[in-house]
Structure 1
C-alpha cells in the first residue's frame, strides 16, 4: 500500500482502515520479512530460489516480500522491486536521445534502453536494408519526448538493453496519457494490448510500469503481390472527440487511484472502477477525492470476499 495523502474525515478514515484490514486478511500469499522462517516440507525435495537461504536446516527469507511456490521451487517475490526486464516484455518508453542508428528510451529501468534503426518497422512497410537516407530521416519517425511502445529483445554483450518494434502494433503513441506506476503492480500476462470498445480507447499495460491510455488507432495493412510495395495506413482524424477525451481521463484517473491503493492493475479492475465512477455519477476530477478512494477499497474488499466464498463452495 502506497502512502495516501487524503483529507479523510473520521468516518471515511474508519471505513478505509476497515476495508484495508479486510483486504489484508484476504491476501492468499504469505508475507515475510528478512530472517522469517518459510514453512516447507523437506520430504518434497524443495528447491530454494531467489530470496531464500538455508540456515540450520530451515528455509529462511533473505528479502521482504511474498512467498511464491512453483511446483517444488520456493522463492520470495519482492513487492517494491525495480523493473527487471525479461525477453518478450511489452514496454512503453519515452525517447530521450537520437543517436547514430538508434534511439535511446527511458523505460523506468536502472539504465536506458536502445531501439536500433534496424529493429524498427519503417513507415513505408518495406523489408529492406537501412540506408544512410533512413538514418538521416530518423527524426521523422521518432523524436525526443515521443512515447513509444516496443518489445524487449534482449541484453547485448555490453550490458545494454535492446528493444524491437517490428510489428504494426508497436511504434509511436499519440493522443493519450502516459502514466507511471510501480512495476510490481503490472503482472506479466499473455495480453498487454487492450482495445476497450465501449470507450474507443486503447490501454497498454507496460511491464515496466508505464501505462498508456489513448485514443484507439486502427492500423490496416495492404499487402500487394510479390515484388510490389507493401504499405500500411493508419486512420487518423484531425482531432480527438470530446467524449473520447473524457473516457481517457476517466480511465487514467482509475489507474492513478488503483495504483495509490496498491491494487494489482488488470484491464478488468480498471474498467470496473471507471464504470463504477460513471454509474455513481462521480465527476472525473472527483475520482481522486477521498470518498471515491474509500468506496473503491470497500468494493474491492467485497469482491475478493465474494470470490473467496465462491471458490470455497466448489
Structure 2
C-alpha cells in the first residue's frame, strides 16, 4: 500500500491508519464503484435486477465476484473490474509524458512506461521556428538541438504502426520539451483518462501535466509562444538561458510534487483536485515541504480522504 514511500509509524499512527483504511473499505462496499477487489471477492450490487456482468467479473452462487485484482467500475447497470496494471496500456489520443532515450534517423525514441519504447517522428512535431514546411536534411542533422537524450517531452499518442511500434505526435504548442520541474512516476492505473490533463495552477505559478502513462510533470508555468508574434529566435533563447526559477516557485513545485508522491503511496486516484487539497492541507497545517512525506501527515491524508468520501456518500444519498 505504501508504494515507494517508506514511513515509520508509531503504534498510535498504525492504529489510526488501519482505522482509516477500514473506513475506506466500508465506504467502498456501500458505494460499489471505486472498490478495490482481489480475485474471488464479492462485488456488492445490493440485489439489483438486470445487472450486467462485464470484464473481470463472473457469477457464483447468485453473487457477482471478481476474477481479477482491480477497481470496481460501474456504468448504469454494467459492473466490471478495471485491472490494476503495472504497465501503461496506450489508447489513441492519450496525453503522455516521456523521456528521450535514443536519437535515430528522423525519429526520437522515448521511454513511456510501456512494454516497448515509443517513437516520435521528426515530421510528427512542430519545429522550434513554428513554420509549417517539409522537413529537410538540415532539420534531421539538427535533431539533437531540438531534443536530446534524457530530455522530458509531452506528446500525444497517434497510434500503432503495422510493425507494432507506438507512434506519438506533438503538433501543438502545448506539446514539446518540458524544463524546470520534476518528473514523477506513479502507477498508471492511478491516473484516469479525463477531458483535461494539462493544468495551470495559477496560485502556485506551476504547470501540472497528468500523463495517462503514469508519468507526471510538475514544473514552472510556461506561457505558450504565439507563432505569429515570434520576434527573434536567438534573442528568445538567450533570455531563457539567463532567467531562472524563483525560490517561491521552486518551493511550490516541491510541495505539489510531494502531494503527488503521497497520494500515490496511499494508492488513491490522482487528480488535480486531490493534489491541490493535499498541498493546501499541508500549508494550513504548517507542515514543511520535507515533512509532507513523514508519518503524521501521511496518516492525516488518509483520514482526510475518509471524511471526503463520507461527505460525497451523504450528498449522493440526498
- Same topology, TM > 0.5: yes
User: Which residue does 1:98 correspond to in 2?
Assistant: 103
1 CA distance for matches of 2:41 and 2:141? 57
Counterparts in 2 of 1:207 and 1:133: CA distance versus 1, 3 Å: same
User: Which residue does 2:17 correspond to in 1?
Assistant: 16
User: Which residue does 2:204 correspond to in 1?
Assistant: 199
User: Which residue does 2:27 correspond to in 1?
Assistant: 26
Q: Which of 147, 150, 157 is equivalent to 1:152?
A: 157
1:174 Cα deviation (Å)? 0.1
2 CA distance for matches of 1:144 and 1:298? 42
Counterparts in 2 of 1:36 and 1:219: CA distance versus 1, 3 Å: closer
2 CA distance for matches of 1:184 and 1:218? 30
1:75 Cα deviation (Å)? 2.7
User: Which residue does 1:77 correspond to in 2?
Assistant: 82
Counterparts in 2 of 1:242 and 1:38: CA distance versus 1, 3 Å: closer
2 CA distance for matches of 1:253 and 1:291? 14
SS in 2 for 1:305: helix
Counterparts in 2 of 1:259 and 1:32: CA distance versus 1, 3 Å: closer
1:275 aligned onto 2:285: no
Contact in 1 for aligned 2:110/2:120 (Cα 8 Å): yes
Alpha-carbon RMSD across the aligned residues, in angstroms, is 2.8
Counterparts in 2 of 1:208 and 1:301: CA distance versus 1, 3 Å: same
1:297 aligned onto 2:302: yes
SS in 1 for 2:297: helix
Counterparts in 2 of 1:33 and 1:296: CA distance versus 1, 3 Å: closer
2 CA distance for matches of 1:302 and 1:52? 30
User: Which residue does 1:187 correspond to in 2?
Assistant: 192
1 CA distance for matches of 2:37 and 2:309? 22
Question: How many pairs are equivalent?
Answer: 309
Report the TM-score, using the length of structure 2 for normalisation.
Answer: 0.88
The superposition leaves residues 57-108 of structure 1 with CA deviations (integer Å, 9 ceiling, x where unpaired) of 9865432223333345443211344210000000000000000000000000
Structure 1: unaligned runs, 5 residues or longer: none
1 CA distance for matches of 2:106 and 2:119? 10
Q: Which of 167, 174, 177 is equivalent to 1:169?
A: 174
2 CA distance for matches of 1:67 and 1:254? 25
Contact in 1 for aligned 2:72/2:81 (Cα 8 Å): yes
Structure 2: unaligned runs, 5 residues or longer: none
Q: How does 1:19-168 map to 2 (within 5 A)?
A: 19-27=20-28, 28=31, 29=33, 30-35=35-40, 44=50, 46=52, 49-52=54-57, 61-71=66-76, 73-168=78-173
SS in 2 for 1:26: helix
1:36 Cα deviation (Å)? 5.3
1 CA distance for matches of 2:171 and 2:193? 21
2 CA distance for matches of 1:45 and 1:9? 44
User: Which residue does 1:240 correspond to in 2?
Assistant: 245
1:9 Cα deviation (Å)? 1.1
Higher alpha-carbon deviation: 16-25 or 180-189: 16-25
Counterparts in 2 of 1:109 and 1:254: CA distance versus 1, 3 Å: same
Higher alpha-carbon deviation: 31-40 or 197-206: 31-40
